[in-house]
Amino acid sequence: MSYFKTAVLLAGLTALFMGVGYLIGGAGGAVVALVIAAATNMFAYWNSDRMVLSMHGAHEVDERSAPDLVRLVAELAGRAQLPMPKVYLMDNPQPNAFATGRDPQHAAVAVTTGLMQSLNREELAGVIAHELAHIKNHDTLIMTITATIAGAISMIAQFGMFFGGNRENGPGIIGSLAMMILAPLSATIVQMAISRTREYSADNMGARICGQPMWLASALVKIDNAAHQIPNMDAERSPATAHMFIINPLSGQGMDNLFSTHPSTENRVHELQRLAGELGPRGGLATAPANASSNSREPWGRQRGPWG
């Protein structure tokens, strides 16, 4: 059902974009809007991961510079039957994380130093598993597409206001002003709705990958509490990337609404508690691939303590 909702919302976003183009330039404007959408998405498809990582000052780490983190990512990627993604670290005191990349073969997971210092190994496993779920679900590409189309809608709406729109069938000055305000607002609402849908799905799959839903639930509570107290200045400078993080780095609203990039943490924890009840004491532990060691099938229950 979440994929169906996402497809419907993406279709609505594309229709909105072409509708704005039509109001500006008639049928020709709709075609131009479609061409712009294709061009921006093509650029984002090839370059979005590098752009986002650069915006947040992320640097790649390996087994020499961050051995425990890289090994944990590798183990969870094996459980999820995914290629090993690149691993990045952001020098940022706010605990948070995101995944990016156009497909599982070109993916990256980025975590902050604050996350490493705030969570124990089990909680960190829950967060990494959530990000791997985004990669497995191809959410990183979906969210890139929604962000670029939403940005293009804002750009073309402002363009229409400047030139007065389609003079034969256009909305006129008042209609153009309304379009400039309502079109980007509508695009933002759709973008946020897609983001919230994908977060619930990634929570569910991530909990199954790591094997224990409550590890992720505990991590979400810690990250959400910290997000209220510790600013993320890189995210403040690039708010369009806020929807990519596991918890909104800009704000921590207590309820779902049209303008929140994420579901409320309370609702997410409730869903994870329900899933934990369904899966039972072993948490529906994911099956490791055939070439994994026998130890990789066991949870990390004896490996506690903060990181950093």
Q: What is the mean pLDDT of residues 194-223?
A: 92
Q: Tell me how far the alpha carbon of residue 174 is from its chain's centroid.
A: 36
Q: Is 56 annotated as a binding residue?
A: no
Q: Provide the pLDDT for residue 172.
A: 55
Give the whole-angstrom CA distance, residue 95 versus residue 64: 23
If pLDDT is split at 50, 70 and 90, which confidence band does 286 have?
A: very low
Per-residue pLDDT tens over the stretch 114-141: 999 999 999 999 999 999 999 999 888 7
Give the whole-angstrom CA distance, residue 6 versus residue 281: 32
Q: Is 131 marked active-site?
A: yes
Q: What is the mean pLDDT of residues 149-173?
A: 59
Q: Is 199 annotated as a binding residue?
A: yes
Per-residue pLDDT tens over the stretch 235-255: 888 877 888 899 999 854 444
Q: What is the mean pLDDT of residues 167-189?
A: 60
Q: Provide the pLDDT for residue 191.
A: 65
pLDDT of 305 over the 60 cut = no
DSSP secondary structure string for all residues of 214-245? HHHHHHHHHHHHHHHHS--HHHHH-GGGGGGB
Give the whole-angstrom CA distance, residue 36 versus residue 302: 53
Mean pLDDT, the chain, whole residue set: 78
Let me know if 27 is exposed, middle or buried by CB neighbors in 10 A (0-12, 13-18, 19+). exposed
Instruction: Tell which residue, 125, 136, 134, has the closest CA to residue 299.
Output: 125
Residues in the chain: 308
Least confident of 46-60, 218-232, 292-306: 292-306
16 within 8 A of 190, measured Cβ to Cβ: yes
Active-site pick, 75, 122, 131, 236: 131
Q: Provide the pLDDT for residue 158.
A: 64
Give the whole-angstrom CA distance, residue 30 versus residue 48: 25
Q: What is the mean pLDDT of residues 285-307?
A: 39
- The encoded tokens of residue 67 equal 């051995």
Q: Provide the pLDDT for residue 19.
A: 74
Q: Delimit the domains of the chain by residue range.
A: 2-280
Per-residue pLDDT tens over the stretch 257-275: 445 678 899 999 999 999 9
Identify residue 236 by its one-letter amino acid code. E
pLDDT of 110 over the 70 cut = yes
Strand order in the sheet with 58-61: 58-61, 86-90, 107-112, 97-101
Give the whole-angstrom CA distance, residue 114 versus residue 91: 8
- The encoded tokens of residue 41 equal 């998405």
If pLDDT is split at 50, 70 and 90, which confidence band does 95 have?
A: very high
Give the whole-angstrom CA distance, residue 73 versus residue 86: 9
